[in-house]
């Protein structure tokens, strides 16, 4: 039985999330979707980064929950009995899906901005392996970092 590394699974997850959630080829971390411990392990996050990751994960879940409720309300309010109603439903649905993508990108960029140069380089390399475009941020310079 072949054993796969955590980095392999994160690369696959980047690829799946990027292809299913976004039309463009952005490389997302999936904060709030990806298990926090996988991100901690792959990117060797320090204690401060882990605290922020936990906070960001909760924020994504909260924001996505609000958007999920909006989707449910759209479905309940639209009987889909004619073409005009279907068209309006599609428009409303796309607006919410775009909002979900923006929330994910915003939160992922927040975490990436906490990465040091070595962590960000690893992220860029994983994105390249998944044939995705990395989100652009300036890595943080840590004076006391071991990374």
List the chain domain ranges. 6-134
pLDDT of residue 146: 54
Would you state the structure tokens that stand for residue 55, as one six-digit string? 């906070």
pTM above 0.85, yes or no: no
Instruction: Give 11-23 pLDDT, tens digit per residue.
Output: 544 554 444 444 4
pLDDT of residue 145: 53
- DSSP label of 23: S
Give the H/E segment covering residue 103.
helix 83-112
pLDDT of residue 73: 82
Cβ count near 7 (within 10 Å): 16
- In our burial notation (b when 16+ CB lie closer than 10 A, e otherwise), range 110-126 reads bbbebbbeebbebbbeb
Asked whether 38 and 6 are in contact (CB, 8 A), the reply is yes
pLDDT band at 71 (very low <50, low <70, confident <90, very high): confident
Among 60, 95, 94, 92, CA closest to 76: 92
Asked whether 64 and 32 are in contact (CB, 8 A), the reply is yes
pLDDT of residue 9: 45
pLDDT band at 60 (very low <50, low <70, confident <90, very high): very high
- Between 12 and 80, the more confident residue is 80
Instruction: Give 113-122 pLDDT, tens digit per residue.
Output: 999 999 999 9
Over range 41-57, report the average pLDDT: 95
Over range 35-62, report the average pLDDT: 95
């Amino acid at each position: 039985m072949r054993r796969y590394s955590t980095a392999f699974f994160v690369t696959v997850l980047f690829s799946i999330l990027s292809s299913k959630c976004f039309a463009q080829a952005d490389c997302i971390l999936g904060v709030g979707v990806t298990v926090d411990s996988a991100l901690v392990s792959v990117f060797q996050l320090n204690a401060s980064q882990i605290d922020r990751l936990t906070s960001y994960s909760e924020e994504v879940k909260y924001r996505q929950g609000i958007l999920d409720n909006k989707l449910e309300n759209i479905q309940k309010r639209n009987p889909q009995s004619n073409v005009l109603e279907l068209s309006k439903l599609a428009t409303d649905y796309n607006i919410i899906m775009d909002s979900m993508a923006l929330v994910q990108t915003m939160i992922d960029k927040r975490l990436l901005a906490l990465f040091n140069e070595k962590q960000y380089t690893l992220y860029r390399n994983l994105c390249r392996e998944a044939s995705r475009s990395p989100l652009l941020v300036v890595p943080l310079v840590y004076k006391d970092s071991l990374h």
